[in-house]
Structure 1
Amino acid sequence: MLPQEFLERMENMLGEEYPAFLKSYDIARYQALRLNPQKGDDASFLNRMVFSLERVPWAEHGYYYTAQDTPGKHPYHEAGVYYIQEPSAMAPAAYLTQQMADGAGERILDLCAAPGGKSTQIAAAMAGRGILISNEIHPARAKILSENIERMGIANAVVTNETPQRLAEHFSEYFTRIMVDAPCSGEGMFRKNEEACEQWSTQNVELCADRQDEILDCAASMLAGGGRLVYSTCTFAPAEDEGSIGRFLERHPEFYVEEVPLAEGMSHGLGELSATIRLWPHKLRGEGHYVAVLRKEGTLADGGSGLLKNGYENGLAAGDSKSAAAGIPEYLAFAGETFAGDALEKYAGRECRYLKFGEQLYRIPEGMPSVKGLKVLRPGLHLGTAKKGRFEPSHALALTLHAADVLHTMDLPSDGREIRGYLNGETFPAQGEKGWYLITVDGYSTGWGKLAGGIMKNHYPKGLRKRLY
């Protein structure tokens, strides 16, 4: 049952469109996925005819799938071949990365990032270049965010668990682009999430609007002059949509709304903020969303970084005096025995810099800012566990690699029993040279195995193991 006060407000907002809006709640919600270009091009996946897919018009790599498809239960999901995401939720990141050739020189912040849909979409557009900081204030949700960054094979992301205020203390006019997918009253998700409907109240709308003002002010201080800020919500409430942007522009006259082309089915914002964007469920195949594309006056300086509280993270290089204690020689030995082609230089070359947390070794992104004083879940690419005399590679590293990057692979067909057994932690007989193998499913990297004595030992993480049918 939709709240009566909500219905009355929507009728006043929509007028003659209100019956069509109300009727949209009787239609099953649309479901979509976004293919991961890190794993391969769209055409090769579409040629496999695994699911019945149809393009989402506003999102590169976005596709609707049918109710008969079950992508969450397919081995490709565990391999990070795609991310299941509500179709309207793909619009904000698409606008943030608009007119971006790749991530070279980009410093991007996703301020309210969990569970990771927008961060992984941004990372796809960055193509492994630049630096992405994905932040989530709630610890449990930050952990889920980090897991999704890992599953999608993203190497240039730092995952933090901080308040916007704490981040603003560390970064001043540093980021070239900022995504603010603000916590909201969730009215646009009523069809998808009954809990959002049950928790709705006019008081909560007001609380969300106040919180959004605080978050936007922090974002404004962290964006470099000439940078782009995209604000989005999944609510219809004007107080949280045009209202939040209107109040923001009054407080920050150095910002203005950018006019951007609308995709088919999208609508203009209300009143004086018609250059912002509304996604209505009775006009397109998706849930309710609001998007505002903002630009900060100024010009992005080439190589400019604004102010960083602690400067940049130096990390360790292979030849540093502390590298042996950090387990880097063990990692380099593993890399020499495992990597092939350009991967050796890319993941263990002379330009690589490393961080050590306990026994865990990370490769940090180029130009990474210092994370001293911040709660960090993932400072770049997790390479693995460095112990005295040996190195055990991480699941994150496996998902970042391709079959051509390693000397030894074992490919398992997606429709076979072996891959399902592997994802459930089973070992299996195999022949070949002993050592580490990249396990792939139809060529897509999925995890590690270690071959010894004709048996492939399973190194798929215990916490991720699942039975697929």
Structure 2
Amino acid sequence: MKLPEKFENKMKELLQDEYDNYLQCYDEPRYYGLRVNTNKISVEDFLKIAPWSLTPVPWIPNGFYYDGDKIQPSKHPYYFAGLYYLQEPSAMTPASRIPVEPGERVLDVCAAPGGKATELGAKLKGEGVLIANDISNSRARGLLKNLELFGIGNMMVISEEPGKLVEYFPEYFDKILIDAPCSGEGMFRKDKKMVKAWEEHGPEFFSKLQRSIITQAAAMLKPGGMILYSTCTFDPLENEKTVEYLLETCPEFKICEMEGYEGFCEGIPKYVENHSEEYRKTVRIFPHKMQGEGHYLALVKKGDDNVEGKNEKPAKPKEGVKKLPEELEQFLKELSWDIDKSRLDIREERVYYMPENLPMLKGVRFLRSGLLLGEVKKNRFEPSQALAMCLKKEEYPRILDLPVSDDRVIKYLKGETLDVEDITSRKEKGWYLVCVDGYPLGFGKLANQTLKNKYLPGWRWMS
């Protein structure tokens, strides 16, 4: 592989006598990774049902390598049940190293396509709120699908410039993840097209964007909150120098230790003005040191834990819908959820269940605000695909649970009507939650021992 001379010279300086070892990694195959959705299934239980050989990613508790030349996990019903996400192993690191707790307010600033946002949402376990933003509206659509597939209901998907969000979320978030747009040097082995992109827009171009984003994020973080800043590049201008810019602009920030791993390399103090040893707490991942691509991570904390954020008291919540449509009321009674009716929002036919304690967000460009429960139509309520993915088998009374070996699972995912007489001869008519081995896939409507398929058309299995 032909690398730009300027890049080679920089890597020789960074790596010194390890440079030849680094070059050799370009002759090695890329690594394929799978991350278990612990919001739906434990790692232990997933390994009991996984149909392929998996090898643990040693620094990611729910991450595994798989042989991408022999298997396609995206062509399996468990993928459609949202039991895992396919992600390059090093790219799993940022979301694993930011300590998100259930109930917190979390922002993923540059979230598409959702590899990190899905893990942040899983860590919240349905409590608090995840705001997932991406400036590209088309990319944000893929982000939305992945979050819904993962069963993340306490979320909002936004497509805005990060700077616009500052006015809505001043000192609002407990944790913020910035997987910043970057020159992509760590991805050269995985995707050779990145080399040409680097020649067109290198570190100097991206460092300006990164400095803008990280200081905007700082304004949205509560005192005592944390930012995890990451790139998939090696250049100090985009890494240590960006963190240095934050600390100079916002001196209340400090660099924090991260959970380590033997393959991690320390940040390099000589690339910042004051040569502070604190920068050794940041992390570089080199592909010749670990089984993954290149990355950089820095965890920083904002000031004191004991100071309240400006938005600690959110805007007065809406009173909610005074009277629910009867069809919706009946459906909600069937769920084993404790529904807070003040958080229900009905817009035309669509019914949403909103996260708690949100500020006023008039003027923000949304793709999704809250969990779409379904649609109120004439004399009926139709539950949504997103709701199906948020449910657990025991939370809905009418279930069609098919083993993964049943060919009707694929037929359902393709949108076909199913003959289910053998398992529904004594069952009542109505909406059923279709599951594979106990994990929801979507809804269907039973009548005369056939299941009318309600699987979302845009999600269907393509042969």
Under a length normalisation based on structure 1, what TM-score does the superposition of the two structures give?
0.92
Distance in structure 2 (CA, Å) of the matches to 1:392 and 1:50: 34
Classify the secondary structure of the residue corresponding to 1:229: strand
Describe the shift of the 1:45–1:203 C-alpha distance in structure 2 as closer, same or farther (beyond 3 A). closer
Q: 1:204 aligns with which of 202, 205, 208?
A: 202
Task: Map 1:15-414 onto structure 2 (within 5 A).
Answer: 15-67=16-68, 68-97=70-99, 100=100, 102-104=101-103, 106-201=104-199, 203-271=201-269, 272=275, 273-300=279-306, 304-307=308-311, 311-314=315-318, 316-317=320-321, 320=322, 323-324=323-324, 327=325, 329-336=326-333, 338-339=334-335, 343-345=336-338, 349-350=339-340, 353-414=343-404
Deviations 1:243-282 (A, max 9, x none): 1111221111111111223113111011242111001100
1:305 Cα deviation from its structure 2 partner: 4.7
The residue identity in structure 1 corresponding to 2:87 is: Q
Deviations 1:35-93 (A, max 9, x none): 11222212111112412112222223111112323211111111101011111111111
Q: Given that residues 318 and 342 in structure 2 are in contact (C-alpha distance below 8 angstroms), is that contact kept between their aligned partners in structure 1?
A: no
Q: Given that residues 188 and 288 in structure 1 are in contact (C-alpha distance below 8 angstroms), is that contact kept between their aligned partners in structure 2?
A: yes
Distance in structure 2 (CA, Å) of the matches to 1:358 and 1:463: 22
Q: Given that residues 92 and 116 in structure 2 are in contact (C-alpha distance below 8 angstroms), is that contact kept between their aligned partners in structure 1?
A: yes
Distance in structure 2 (CA, Å) of the matches to 1:441 and 1:285: 33
Q: Given that residues 172 and 308 in structure 1 are in contact (C-alpha distance below 8 angstroms), is that contact kept between their aligned partners in structure 2?
A: no
Deviations 1:407-443 (A, max 9, x none): 1111222233211111111111122211111001111
The residue identity in structure 2 corresponding to 1:28 is: P
The answer as to 2:447 corresponding to 1:452 is yes
1:360 Cα deviation from its structure 2 partner: 1.4
1:315 Cα deviation from its structure 2 partner: 5.6
The answer as to 2:427 corresponding to 1:426 is no
1:202 Cα deviation from its structure 2 partner: 7.2
Classify the secondary structure of the residue corresponding to 2:198: coil
Q: Given that residues 268 and 274 in structure 1 are in contact (C-alpha distance below 8 angstroms), is that contact kept between their aligned partners in structure 2?
A: yes
Distance in structure 2 (CA, Å) of the matches to 1:215 and 1:453: 57
1:461 Cα deviation from its structure 2 partner: 0.9
Distance in structure 2 (CA, Å) of the matches to 1:49 and 1:292: 34
Describe the shift of the 1:38–1:352 C-alpha distance in structure 2 as closer, same or farther (beyond 3 A). farther
The residue identity in structure 1 corresponding to 2:268 is: L
Could you tell me which residue of structure 2 aligns to residue 462 of structure 1?
457
Classify the secondary structure of the residue corresponding to 1:306: coil
Q: Given that residues 134 and 160 in structure 2 are in contact (C-alpha distance below 8 angstroms), is that contact kept between their aligned partners in structure 1?
A: yes
Deviations 1:146-195 (A, max 9, x none): 11110000111111111111101111111111111100011111111222
Classify the secondary structure of the residue corresponding to 2:461: coil
1:368 Cα deviation from its structure 2 partner: 2.5
Classify the secondary structure of the residue corresponding to 1:171: coil
Deviations 1:350-399 (A, max 9, x none): 45511223321110112233222111111111101112321111000001
Classify the secondary structure of the residue corresponding to 1:60: coil
Deviations 1:119-148 (A, max 9, x none): 111111111111111111110011111111
Classify the secondary structure of the residue corresponding to 1:398: helix
Q: Given that residues 384 and 393 in structure 1 are in contact (C-alpha distance below 8 angstroms), is that contact kept between their aligned partners in structure 2?
A: yes
Describe the shift of the 1:194–1:416 C-alpha distance in structure 2 as closer, same or farther (beyond 3 A). farther
The residue identity in structure 1 corresponding to 2:459 is: L
Q: How many pairs align?
A: 448
Describe the shift of the 1:387–1:305 C-alpha distance in structure 2 as closer, same or farther (beyond 3 A). farther
Q: Given that residues 32 and 88 in structure 2 are in contact (C-alpha distance below 8 angstroms), is that contact kept between their aligned partners in structure 1?
A: yes
1:291 Cα deviation from its structure 2 partner: 0.1
Which stretch of the first structure deviates more once superposed, 247-256 or 74-83? 247-256
Q: Given that residues 39 and 123 in structure 2 are in contact (C-alpha distance below 8 angstroms), is that contact kept between their aligned partners in structure 1?
A: no
The residue identity in structure 2 corresponding to 1:23 is: Q
Q: Given that residues 154 and 400 in structure 1 are in contact (C-alpha distance below 8 angstroms), is that contact kept between their aligned partners in structure 2?
A: yes
1:308 Cα deviation from its structure 2 partner: 8.0
Which stretch of the first structure deviates more once superposed, 198-207 or 212-221? 198-207
Q: Percent identity?
A: 42
The residue identity in structure 1 corresponding to 2:119 is: Q
Distance in structure 2 (CA, Å) of the matches to 1:312 and 1:377: 23
